[in-house]
Amino acid sequence: MTVPDGIASIDPQDAAGRSGSWVGLIPVSAFKRLAPLIGRPDTDVGVDLTFELDGNGLVRVSGGARVDATLECHRCLEEVDQEIVADLDIRLTTSEGTMEELMPALDVMVIDAGPIPIATIVEDDLIMSIPARVCPTEVDCPNAPRALMAGTKVDGDEAVRPFAGLRALKNLKREEC
Ligand SMILES: [Zn+2]
């Protein structure tokens, strides 16, 4: 059994130099920005990262992170259990200049030299992987009030109108504002 490690950290340069990896669990409480977003204060984030030097000698981190979340649908306010999965392929650098050279072709994160928390490496990608709409079919939120559904009405068969869903989302946004 793996014990969650809230202060797990790694020196990315050192780890990449020996093609190291980090696999383990981190309590979500170690993620200051992620924790309030996923509705599960006591869960753990599973992390599986490998470190290597790319062709330019930069630290490349690849792998993934995942966490079970309980998200609230913005339409129906029902809670939906959802696994958040982030796939990572990022370069770490201590230089702002290097980051500006490589972005946006590569995903680059500027870090301080020396050991950094594992949580820091995966937190942004996890936050970006939280779905904006959590009801399974998005526009067809099974719990949507009828008043909202009226805005999605289109002529003919919705199945052959690929943009019907987009329009419904736009309508929804307007009503939320
Ligand atoms: Zn919903």
pLDDT above 50: residue 145: yes
- pLDDT classification of 142: cutoffs 50, 70, 90: low
Give me the mean pLDDT over the 73-87 stretch.
89
Task: Give the model confidence (pLDDT) of 56-75 as tens digits.
Answer: 999 999 999 999 999 988 88
Q: Within 10 A of 92 (CB to CB), how many other CB atoms are there?
A: 22
From ligand 1's centre to the CA of 124, what distance in Å?
25
From ligand 1's centre to the CA of 153, what distance in Å?
18
Q: What is the SS3 assignment for 51? A: strand
Is 139:168 a contact under the CB 8 Å cutoff? Answer: yes
The torsion region of residue 41 among left (phi > 0), alpha (psi -120 to 50) and beta comes to alpha
The reply to whether omega before 104 is within 30° of 0 (cis) is: yes
From ligand 1's centre to the CA of 65, what distance in Å?
26
From ligand 1's centre to the CA of 133, what distance in Å?
8
pLDDT above 90: residue 9: yes
- pLDDT classification of 171: cutoffs 50, 70, 90: low
pLDDT of residue 170: 54
From ligand 1's centre to the CA of 176, what distance in Å?
14
From ligand 1's centre to the CA of 167, what distance in Å?
17
Q: How many residues does the chain have?
A: 177
pLDDT above 60: residue 17: yes
pLDDT of residue 78: 85
From ligand 1's centre to the CA of 43, what distance in Å?
23
Dihedral angle of Cα 13, 99, 9, 44, to the nearest 10 degrees: -140
Tokens of 73: 């649908």
Residue extents of the structural domains in the chain: 9-128, 145-176
HSE at residue 24, side-chain half, CA atoms within 13 A, is 16
CA 146 vs CA 43, 48, 140: distances in Å: 35, 43, 11
- pLDDT classification of 133: cutoffs 50, 70, 90: confident
